[in-house]
Structure 1
């Protein structure tokens, strides 16, 4: 007997009692006439034909099985019926972000200003948020630019309300707008300001704004860094900036960065972009809320923010102690007091600032911090290391110019 052909069950142990393929027939020769006899059995099919028949049978069985499963899970006559697929019932559990957005989004507004570009007038847009019931709105100074007026929209697709620019502070990139509460449909929803000094890396961060001209949008992430520095619109630096990975894009400028309790911890201002001109790479920066708490009331009152000014550029020392004076601005308080710049890395051929107004200096950022709370016209002692000796220089602080020299 010929060898047994292989089974169609590829994973079945050998020695089974089913042979799906029969041995090949030997063929038929001419035979003499004989009385009629029952018709001979139909010759066996070839192996190829039987394989195709068996595969067709398996496919048919699978089709019936799938049809049964479809009917079990979806009901009806299956996909051929044309009925839409059912939706899973219910909603997911409410998240903290849902709650914060529902509570805070009404206090976030779309800001639009007219900008003159030569002979044409264009429009710039950003985001702002309400901080009191009197119609005070905070946004970025770079959103407002030099405009004296703006218009804001409180609802997606709603009407615009005229706003007056109460003041701008390019050194902190903050601006304050005022609207008449009677012009607003419904009640104003002020957002509370948090103490940004209490913010920690890893805290929840939620940004609400109008990115790329879209309607009100929420994105979320964490606080990913603290005490960062960014450049202000006038070229000076803004310190104590909050870094976040919550997606921030053009149009989010001036909008609030919120904590897990829906309080403002910062004002979204800048993003880091990839070197090839791409968009957000997950690094955004927000001006801290404590700066807002100081600047906004003065701008609301129509005051100009005056900051003290020393007039030096500094760099770190190799040993991490003090700040090397690299440049002394012409006609500045530092120049008038006789401070000297250095070229050597360690500052040994010039001045190394070690103390300002009684505050020890460990790096360049400490110099600006030491005079931040001082007023123009105040006289402060500046202690420098000069050619191996410590020298105290009295400096009368000036008024910070409109732009960085």
Structure 2
């Protein structure tokens, strides 16, 4: 036997009928007298416009304050047309940057402007300027551009402190993913202290990992904290497809604050030199000799390592290559390879005196070396 449920559609008349009739009468009167009472749609719209959660309010304020500092960067390369001898400008890609100070400097990633013959910068108001490279640092994937925008009021980004970040803190990315200008995405700090490879294959350390969506075109854009302050420069994503996968990386602003002023002043980072020449293909020779450290191939003439007796490679009477000094420690820091060596050098400035420990013939030797400025300034 099959049972059917029957639902009656007839209006029920009961003790609530007078109330319903009264409400209907009141509504009819209001309509008849042309009442100004807002409709439910208007009330909902007004309520939504006036209501924000604290987080929404924070997001809106950050975007309004920081988006004016974000720029779109387009790079192009001059190629010779097969039908003409005249070079033509061919677009290569686009990225993001941000205003640094009030003198027309723009900070972005090195890979955004790499191999470009022409770079244009578009501000939020739509004005476009040709830009020239002031300084480049492929090891940190940073570049500084300069635009002549004397007639435009530039809005520099406010600098924060990446050392105050914690996992779980909110971060905001503003950029131009896939050419969609001034797009904001929100996420958190997923991890700190990551390492990624730069264009030059050097390790970029202390990198910020975030799940804020970062896509092609976001490169070089700012990563902001809840105060709208710069805490990182978006530089890479981990994605097999090339689109955001929830794993993005940003160069910490404390690194940026150290590098950018030197790029502006000198065109390159003023990493000091010790006065030695490392061997080429060092990994091969470390495996060959079963050692760790930086193998000194030679010393630069008239530098302290040369004057204080540090030795490079030499040949025995039988023609075999003999090891000289192998740097294993600088200022108490273990040096296992050239990356460790470069990291220590970046933490110092020309004129600093460092203690260098080397191994030679199974003996530990100690040198005090004054670091020199780069020779090709």
Q: Classify the TM-score, shorter chain.
A: 0.5 to 0.7
**Cα distance in structure 2, aligned partners of 1:161 and 1:63:** 72
**Which deviates more from structure 2 when the two are superposed, residues 248-257 or residues 229-238?**
229-238
**Residues 299-310 of structure 1 mapped to structure 2, 5 A cutoff:** 299-308=263-272
Structure 1 position 325 matched with structure 2 position 292: yes
- 1:332–1:398 contact (8 Å) kept in structure 2: no
1:122 shift after superposition: 2.1
Q: How many residues align?
A: 311
- The match for 1:239 is 205
Shift in CA distance, 330/386, structure 1 to aligned 2, threshold 3 Å:
closer
Aligned to 2:348: 374
Native 8 Å contact 2:112 2:220 kept in 1:
yes
Structure 1 gap segments, 5+ residues each: 1-5, 11-57, 66-71, 73-84, 315-322, 341-348
Note if contact 2:293-2:335 (Cα within 8 Å) is conserved in structure 1. Answer: no
Q: Does the alignment pair 1:359 with 2:359?
A: no
**Deviation digits for residues 92-141 of structure 1, max 9, x if unmatched?**
40431111111100110111122235656322211111121222211111
Contact 1:105/1:208 (CA < 8 Å) preserved in 2?
Answer: yes
Q: Corresponding residue for 1:142?
A: 111
Matched, 1:173 2:135: no
Give me the TM-score of the superposition, normalised by structure 2. Answer: 0.68
Q: What RMSD, in angstroms, separates the aligned Cα atoms of the two structures?
A: 4.1
Q: Distance in 2 between matches of 1:278 and 1:297?
A: 32
In structure 2, stretches of 5+ residues that fail to align are 13-23, 25-39, 82-87, 284-289, 315-322
Secondary structure, aligned partner of 2:258: helix
Task: Output aligned runs, 1:114-129, within 5 Å.
Answer: 114-116=76-78, 119=81, 121-123=89-91, 124-129=93-98
Contact 2:232 2:253 in 1 (8 A): yes
Distance in 2 between residues matched to 1:338 and 1:396, nearest whole Å = 19
Counterpart residue number, 1:107: 69
Residue of structure 2 aligned with 1:8, choices 3, 22, 32: 3
Per the alignment, residue 17 of structure 1 pairs with none
Give yes or no for contact 1:161–1:183 (8 Å, CA) kept in 2.
Answer: no
User: Do the aligned residues in 1 keep the contact of 2:293 with 2:328 (CA within 8 Å)?
Assistant: no
Q: Per the alignment, do residues 394 and 130 of structure 1 end up closer, same or farther by CA in structure 2, a change over 3 Å counting?
A: same
Question: Alpha carbons of 1:223 and 1:324: their partners in 2 closer, same or farther (altered >3 Å)?
Answer: farther
Whether the 8 Å contact between 1:337 and 1:395 is mirrored in structure 2 is no
Match of 1:294 in 2: 258
Is the radius of gyration larger for structure 1 or structure 2?
1
The answer on 1:225 being equivalent to 2:220 is: no
160, 164, 181: which is aligned to 1:198? Answer: 164
Q: Secondary structure at the match of 1:121?
A: strand
Aligned partner of 1:54 in structure 2 is none
User: 1:257–1:266: 8 Å Cα contact kept in structure 2?
Assistant: yes
Question: Is 1:359–1:370's contact at 8 Å kept on the other side of the alignment?
Answer: no
> Is the 8 Å Cα contact of residues 208 and 252 (structure 2) preserved in structure 1?
yes
Structure 1 length-normalised TM? 0.64
